[in-house]
Chains A and B, each alone.
Chain A
């Protein structure tokens, strides 16, 4: 089976940097996704990591350590519009599906 843990809530200040952690346990790991979901809307894809290391994409970066079962999403130069839920999802190649964490609700304050 799979177990994915991420903090429930985080608060940060506009312009700051925030790191959202995700730990996972899975039998057939083949990639980790981060999605952003604004209230009442569909999740939208942010990043995909399958190899160890840091992937940078503009203000967002995602890191993966397969040996530690650990990932983080780093958001720089926070903007008010970044207030959303951030979902960590692990692809299990044995199961042929992604399992999602419960999401981290990020609130950006002025």
Chain B
């Protein structure tokens, strides 16, 4: 049973290019969370998705950032026209329960994608 898979592990983009980060949740998990982590800082929530639906995108910048979790395939975090400040580690986590659950379970994290904008 593979864990949460993120790819690529490392991504280098020039300013103005697009970055696409992929996350395949654990088998059986339908809830995906994306977090951003700047050096020496904690995880900052970006967006919470359930299959084909964005549940909460309150932590995601309104411009240049978008996320999707299609019925088939991985969840994608897209950053358009990247800037130096987008350089960070982006972690994806998945769980088998989400908003409607009264008893939470742990979320499992992928290894992250380290984005460097040059």
Contact = CB atoms under 8 A, between A and B. Distances in A.
Contacts, number: 58
Interface in B26-45: 33, 35, 41-45
A97 B33 contact: yes
A98 interface: yes
Contact residue range for chain B?
20 to 34
A87 B42 contact: yes
B42 A96 contact: no
What secondary structure prevails in chain B residues at the interface with A? Answer: loop
Interface of A: 30-31, 33, 35, 41-45, 48, 50, 87, 89, 91, 93, 95-103
Interface of B: 33, 35, 41-45, 48, 55-56, 91, 98-104, 106-112
Given A42-B109, A96-B48, A100-B45, 8 more contacts: A30-B103, A42-B111, A91-B104, A96-B56, A96-B99, A96-B100, A98-B33, A98-B104
16 contacts: A33-B106, A42-B112, A43-B43, A43-B109, A45-B106, A45-B107, A50-B104, A87-B42, A87-B43, A93-B102, A97-B56, A98-B33, A100-B35, A100-B42, A100-B43, A100-B44
